[in-house]
A and B are shown apart, each in its own frame.
Chain A
Amino acid sequence: MLVDIADLRVTFATRTGTFEAVRGVSMRIGTEKLGIVGESGSGKSLTARSLMRLLPANARLSAERLTFDGIDVLNADERTMRTIRGRRAGFILQDPKYSLNPVMTIGRQVAEAWRTHKGGGRREAEEAAADLLDQVRIRDPRHVMGLYPHEVSGGMGQRVMIAMMLAPDPELLIADEPTSALDATVQAEILRLMEDLVTRRGMGLILISHDLPLVSHFCDRVAVMYAGRVVETLAAGELARARHPYTRGLLDCLPSLTHPRERLPVLARDAAWLQP
C-alpha cells in the first residue's frame, strides 16, 4: 500500500474548546485513482494535507497509523518529510494564478523544480523543462517557457503546474480541486491529461473535489466525506447505487439538463450522519 491511514484526526484549538475537523478517517490507497468528495468543511483537503503534514500551525494531528510507502508520517523528521513532499508525492492546487511565481518566467520555474529534485546544470534543466512541458501537451514549449504566468490562460497555467509536479517522477499525485477554476472544456482536458499521465507512469492519484459526478468519471473509487468522516466509499461506476442518504442527496440536488425538475430537492441534513 502506498498510503495507509487509520483513524486520522485533525483538531483545532478554539477559544471555547477544541474543534475536530477530521474525525477518524481511515483509507488505504495503492496505485489507483481515488476521489475524495465532500462539501466545504467536510475535511477532505485536511485529510490529504495531513499526509504531507502540511497543516495550519494551530492544527493538531493524531492517527493510529499514517504512513506513506511505509514511512511513518506522524513521527518522521522534517528531512524525511521533504523527501516526500514534492518529490515522492506531488501536489496540485486549485488556482494556478496563486501557485505560480508571478515574477519568474514559466521556463525558469519548471527548470528550477527539476533542478531542485534532480540536480544538474542549467542547460540540462532547460532541456528537461521543455520536455516536461511537451509531456503535458503544451504545443510550443520553447515559446511558453519565455512567458510569465499572467500571459497564459488558466488551463495552460494548470498544465505548467502539472509539468512542475512531474519533474521528480513522483509516485503519488494529490490534486486538490485542480479544475474548479477552469472552464468546462478545459476542465475535461486537464482531467484527461492527469488521468493519462497517472495511468502511464503507474502513479497513485488522490483527486479532491466537491463535484461528485466529475470525480466518479475520472477515478476508480470515490470516498464521500461528511463532517470529518468518510460516510461511504464507492466504486466509481456504482454512484447510482449509493446507499448513504448524504451521497444520494448530493447527487439529487444537482440541476440536470436531461431531467428537468420544477424544484430541486434540498438536502435535509440528519444529525445521525454525524455518528460513526
Chain B
Amino acid sequence: MTASPMIDVDRLRVSFGDKEVVKGVSFRVPAGECFGLVGESGSGKSTVLRALSGLNGAWSGRIAVAGAEVGPKRHRAFFRKVQMVFQDPYGSLHPRQTIDRILSEPLLVHGLGDVERRVAATLAEVALPAAVRFRFPHQLSGGQRQRVAIARALIAEPEVLLLDEPTSALDVSVQAEILNLLADLRRQRRLTYVLVSHNLAVVAHLCARIGVMLGGEMVEELSAEDLRAGRAQHPHTRELRTLSVGLEEV
C-alpha cells in the first residue's frame, strides 16, 4: 500500500483514572474500506472509537486521519471529515427538535449553505419520506430514527463514519435494512467505516477486516474471510466464533 491509510491508529492507550482500558491498540483502515472492532463489554472497543472521534481527549499514542495527525483537541474541520453514529436512536436525537432542525444543525455549524436542498436530498438518500422532515423523533420508529442519525452524520459530507453498535437496538428485520443502507452509502460515497459491534455476523457482513478486542488489547486482526472459514488464531476469537456459528445451526 503506497497511499497513506484514511485512518491510522498507532499504539493507542486510554486510561480512566489509574485504570488502563486500552493498552496499545494499532490498526489502519485504507480509504473506502470498513474495519470492524469486536469484543465483549469492557473490552475497550467503544473506548477506541470514542478516542478516535474526539469524544475522549485523555489518550496517548498516535492517531492520523487522512494522513494528518490529530491531537486530543480537534478542529472543526475534523468533524466535517469524521462523523459518528451511536447505538441508541432513542437517546442520540434531541427530543424537542424536529428532524429538520436536527439535520440543519451540522450545516449551520460548518457554515454550509443550501440548507433546504441538502436536508431534502439527505433524507431521500437514507430512504426516509419527505414528510418526516417536520416530525419529532418520538413520532418515528426505531429504524426511522436510526436513519435520521445516519442522515445527520452524512449531511456535512464526511469521509469517515464511526459506527458504534448501530443496529443492536433494532429488530432484526430493521437491522437488515440499516446494514443494507450502510453498505450502499459506503459504495456510493466512498466512505471509510469503523464499525464497533459485539455481533460477529454483523461485523463480518459489513467489514473486510476485523480486530478482536479483549481486556483492552487487540488480540487478533484478521480478514472476514479467515473468520468465516474458522482460520482464527486466538482462543477468544475462536470462542466468539463458536458461539455465533452455534446459533446459526438450527
Contact = CB atoms under 8 A, between A and B. Distances in A.
Interface string A203-234: 00000001111101100000000000000000
20 contacts: A183-B40, A185-B243, A188-B246, A214-B247, A239-B250, A253-B173, A253-B175, A253-B176, A254-B201, A254-B248, A256-B201, A257-B201, A257-B244, A257-B245, A258-B248, A260-B205, A260-B224, A264-B176, A264-B205, A267-B176
B40 A184 contact: yes
Interface in B231-250: 239-241, 243-248, 250
Contact of A250 (B172, B205, B248): B172
Interface in A231-276: 237, 239-240, 249-251, 253-261, 263-267
A4 interface: no
A184 B177 CA distance: 23
Given A39-B173, A39-B174, A185-B240, 16 more contacts: A183-B198, A185-B239, A216-B250, A237-B250, A239-B250, A240-B250, A253-B172, A254-B172, A255-B176, A255-B179, A255-B205, A258-B248, A260-B224, A261-B205, A263-B180, A265-B176
By secondary structure, the B interface counts as helix
Nearest to B225: A260
A258 B228 contact: yes
Nearest to B175: A253
Contact of B248 (A40, A154, A253, A257): A257
By secondary structure, the A interface counts as loop
- Which 9 pairs from chain A and chain B are nearest by CB? A253-B176, A255-B205, A267-B173, A264-B176, A183-B40, A39-B171, A255-B201, A239-B250, A213-B247
Interface in B200-231: 200-202, 204-205, 224, 227-228
Contacts of B180: 263-264, 266
Contacts of A188: 243, 246
Contact of A264 (B179, B224, B240): B179
A187 to B, nearest CB: 8
Contact of B173 (A184, A240, A249): A249
A5 B41 CA distance: 39
B173 A257 contact: no
Contacts of B244: 184, 257
B198, B239, B246, B248 pick with most chain A CB within 10 angstroms: B248
B172, B177, B199, B248 pick with most chain A CB within 10 angstroms: B172
A40 B244 CA distance: 23
Contacts of A257: 200-201, 204, 227-228, 241, 244-245, 248
Nearest to A237: B250
A213 B250 CA distance: 7
Contacts of B174: 39
Nearest to A236: B250
Given A184-B40, A257-B204, A264-B205, A40 B250 contact: no
A259 B205 CA distance: 10
A184 B243 contact: yes
B158 interface: no
Nearest to B38: A184
Contact of B198 (A154, A184, A213, A263): A184
B40, B202, B247 pick with most chain A CB within 10 angstroms: B247
B227 to A, nearest CB: 7
A239 B201 CA distance: 19
A109 to B, nearest CB: 23
